[in-house]
C-alpha cells in the first residue's frame, strides 16, 4: 500500500494522461479486446436514464411554480442539480465514446493507435471522477444533514436524485476499466469549493432558497458564518473521504479483475478418466 500511495501522490499524476486510452471504452470485466456490445447497451441505458431523470427534475420544478415564486429559476442553485448534471454529462459522453470506438473498430479493426490520451477522453475522465465523488457526497449530506421528514417527501424523483445517483455511480465505478487517481481529489475538492463560493455570492446578492428561505440550504446559511463555516469545512472533508473510499474500491476492483485473469491463464491439466486408454509408455512405467 505504501508503494501505491507513493505512486499516487505525485504531481505528475495530477493531470489526465494515460498510456492505455482504450480502457476508457472497455468494461473491466470483459474478456475480449474491443468494444463489448453488452457494455455499449449498458452505456446507453445508463446515459438515457440519467438524462430522463435530469429532464424530469426540470419539469417537476416548473410544475411547482406559483404566482409569487418561480421554482424553475432556482433549479440551478442546488448542489444536487449540479451533481446530477455532472452524472448526466459523463454518462452521455461515455456512451458517445464507446459508440465512436465501435464504429471505428468495424471500419478498421480494433486498434490502440493513440500516442496520447485524446482530450475528449480526459474530459470524460474528469467528469466521471467529479460525478462519482459528488454523488456519494450529496447522498451522505442529504440524509445526514438536510433531510427532514416533515418537509421532504421521499418521492420517486427525490430518491433518484439523492439516493440512486450514488448507487448508480458506484455501480459504474465497478464496471468501468479506466483508472481513478487518488491525487485527483484536488479536482473534487475544487468543485465543492466553487459551489460554496457560489453560495456565498448568491447570498450576498440577496438570493433566496425554496419558498423564499433565507438560504439555499438551512445548513448553508451564510448570515450565520460562525455555524455555517464549520459545516462547509466538514463538507469538504467529506468529499476527500468519499474520494479516498472510491479509490480504495477501484484498487479492490483491479485486484479482483487481475486475479480472475491470472486464473484464466493457468494451464488446465485434464485428468484421465477410468475408461480412457493410457499411452503405452505410461503403462510400462
Summarize pLDDT for 167-186 with one digit per residue, the tens: 999 999 999 999 999 999 99
∠ CA 264-266-267, rounded to 5°: 120
In a domain, 134, yes or no: yes
64-78, 133-147, 216-230: segment of lowest average pLDDT: 64-78
What angle do helix axes 79-108 and 119-141 make, rounded to 10 degrees? 150
Q: What is the pLDDT of residue 275?
A: 45
In a domain, 7, yes or no: no
Distance CA 202, CA 154 (A): 27
Q: What is the pLDDT of residue 265?
A: 57
In a domain, 276, yes or no: no
Closest by alpha carbon to 72, among 80, 81, 63? 63
Higher pLDDT pick, 136 / 71 = 136
- Whether 149 has a pLDDT exceeding 60, the answer reads yes
Distance CA 173, CA 153 (A): 29
Average pLDDT, rounded, for the chain: 87
pTM, to two decimals: 0.87
Total tally of structural domains belonging to the chain? 1
Question: What sign for the dihedral angle of Cα 138, 65, 152, 201?
Answer: positive
> 249 lies in which domain range?
20-256
In a domain, 277, yes or no: no
Summarize pLDDT for 218-251 with one digit per residue, the tens: 899 999 999 999 999 999 999 999 999 999 999 9
In a domain, 182, yes or no: yes
In a domain, 220, yes or no: yes
Residue 188 contacts residue 239 (beta carbons within 8 Å): yes
In a domain, 240, yes or no: yes
Distance CA 263, CA 80 (A): 43
Summarize pLDDT for 119-141 with one digit per residue, the tens: 999 999 999 999 999 999 999 99
In a domain, 141, yes or no: yes
Amino acid at each position: 500500500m505504501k508503494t501505491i500511495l507513493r505512486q499516487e501522490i505525485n504531481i505528475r499524476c495530477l493531470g489526465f494522461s494515460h498510456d492505455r486510452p482504450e480502457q476508457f471504452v472497455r468494461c473491466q470485466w470483459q474478456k475480449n479486446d474491443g468494444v463489448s456490445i453488452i457494455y455499449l447497451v449498458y452505456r446507453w441505458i445508463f446515459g438515457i436514464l440519467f438524462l430522463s431523470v435530469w429532464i424530469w427534475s426540470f419539469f417537476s420544478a416548473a410544475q411547482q411554480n406559483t404566482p409569487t415564486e418561480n421554482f424553475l429559476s432556482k433549479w440551478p442553485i442546488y448542489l444536487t442539480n449540479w451533481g446530477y448534471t455532472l452524472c448526466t454529462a459523463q454518462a452521455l459522453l461515455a456512451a458517445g465514446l464507446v459508440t465512436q470506438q465501435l464504429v471505428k473498430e468495424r471500419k478498421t479493426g480494433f486498434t490502440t493507435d493513440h500516442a496520447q490520451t485524446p482530450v475528449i477522453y480526459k474530459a470524460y475522465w474528469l467528469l466521471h471522477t467529479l460525478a462519482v465523488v459528488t454523488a456519494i457526497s450529496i447522498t451522505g449530506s442529504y440524509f445526514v444533514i438536510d433531510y427532514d421528514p416533515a418537509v421532504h417527501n421521499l418521492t420517486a424523483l427525490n430518491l433518484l436524485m439523492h439516493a440512486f445517483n450514488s448507487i448508480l455511480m458506484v455501480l459504474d465505478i465497478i464496471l468501468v476499466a479506466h483508472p481513478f487517481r487518488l491525487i485527483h481529489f484536488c479536482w473534487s475538492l475544487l468543485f465543492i469549493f466553487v459551489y460554496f463560493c457560489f453560495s456565498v455570492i448568491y447570498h450576498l446578492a440577496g438570493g433566496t432558497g425554496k419558498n423564499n428561505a433565507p438560504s439555499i440550504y438551512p445548513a448553508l446559511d451564510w448570515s450565520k458564518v460562525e455555524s455555517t463555516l464549520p459545516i462547509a469545512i466538514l463538507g469538504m472533508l467529506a468529499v476527500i473521504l468519499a474520494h479516498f473510499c472510491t479509490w480504495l474500491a477501484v484498487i479492490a476492483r483491479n485486484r479482483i479483475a487481475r486475479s480472475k485473469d491470472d486464473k484464466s491463464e493457468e494451464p488446465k491439466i485434464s485428468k484421465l478418466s477410468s475408461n480412457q486408454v493410457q499411452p503405452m509408455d505410461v503403462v510400462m512405467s
